[in-house]
Structure 1
């Protein structure tokens, strides 16, 4: 069989095109998290900031949605972590788990869904505790992460802090995705 000099580059280009198409299909179906009204890296308003200690906020959790839920998901969990807080040691603002597998979103300021469990935040108490970066700091980054778990809604004990939560879900995460929110004072 005679090969033409342009055949190899054409086949290579076809393979690259097919691979790129396959990657786009995969990316389109990947587990994805958004915060409606705030683009990834966008700044949130003070309604999300803590209401205590002169933080000036409404202490309302951000809206969060997730798409392309992996097969086998039995519950979800949400965390909000500030890697810039505590002079770079990080601050945990929210740990919520046991979210029903039937849910794909939580509204701005929503209460914990029925059957879910609020873990321990930076104050040593359960529930959402909004951002309160020092006045004059550059806006902090807040990683809003959602985990799709193969655990039933009631599998985890109540009152877990962030480290305990992460240890408990080890080997049970089907997928995780995040978006970054920013806030400064």
Structure 2
């Protein structure tokens, strides 16, 4: 992933600590898209103006969570959207770190596996990529955050700023994948 420092700071304002010298680094991967690759139509918004996708959450896998991880959070953010101020497409939190990932299409709404927060439109659902037609491809940073907060600690209905505020001092590490999409 080749992010500019200012872009990464905009994506994740909480401090992520590196893994210790004897442990492997936290990693996140997806069978739905590769880091730096094109996001599949299955994840894209359903509106024909977006490409008429299926609006399915991407599959995610993670490993090497930092010691002390009690819950996970996910943020999918498009820094190119919203005329430069960014767009939140997906917030998910209170995710059990004992699971090793999320199946494709299984994280779009609150369930036993996770709680979904508010996207930029204010709805508590996954919102697939949908940049304006003719724009250069947008970048969608999907960041997994390991926290020391016990499962169920974070309340329902959080938006990105509320989530980041509550994660201050509780983030143990983070890793991102960046997918691109344009039409």
Same fold (TM over 0.5): yes
Partner of 1:47: helix, strand, or coil? Answer: helix
Mapped partners of 1:83, 1:31: distance in 2: 23
Structure 1: gaps spanning 5 or more residues: 1-24
Q: Are 1:35 and 2:19 counterparts?
A: no
- Of the three residues 81, 86, 96, the one matched with 1:85 is 81
Query: Residue 7 of structure 1 aligns with which residue?
Result: none
Mapped partners of 1:30, 1:43: distance in 2: 25
Question: What's the Cα RMSD here?
Answer: 1.8
Query: Residue 15 of structure 2 aligns with which residue?
Result: none
Q: Which structure is larger by alpha-carbon Rg, 1 or 2?
A: 1
- Of the three residues 146, 158, 163, the one matched with 1:148 is 146
Higher relative contact order (CA 8 A, sep 6+): 2
| TM-score, structure 2 as length reference | 0.82
**For each residue in 1:89-135, what CA deviation from the matched residue of structure 2 results, as whole angstroms up to 9, or x when unmatched?**
10000000000121121121113551521100022110211010011
Structure (1 or 2) with the greater helix fraction: 1
Contact 1:95–1:118 (CA<8 Å) still a contact in 2?
yes
Partner of 1:43: helix, strand, or coil? Answer: coil
Partner of 2:49: helix, strand, or coil? Answer: coil
- Of the three residues 124, 146, 156, the one matched with 2:122 is 124
Query: Residue 99 of structure 2 aligns with which residue?
Result: 103
Structure 2: gaps spanning 5 or more residues: 1-19
Out of 43-52 and 84-93, give the one that drifted further.
43-52
Q: Are 1:47 and 2:34 counterparts?
A: no
Contact 1:96–1:127 (CA<8 Å) still a contact in 2?
no
Partner of 1:164: helix, strand, or coil? Answer: helix
- List, as ranges, runs of 4+ consecutive aligned residues in structure 1 with deviation greater than 3 Å: 25-28
Mapped partners of 1:44, 1:28: distance in 2: 31
Contact 1:99–1:113 (CA<8 Å) still a contact in 2?
no
- The total of aligned residue pairs comes to 161
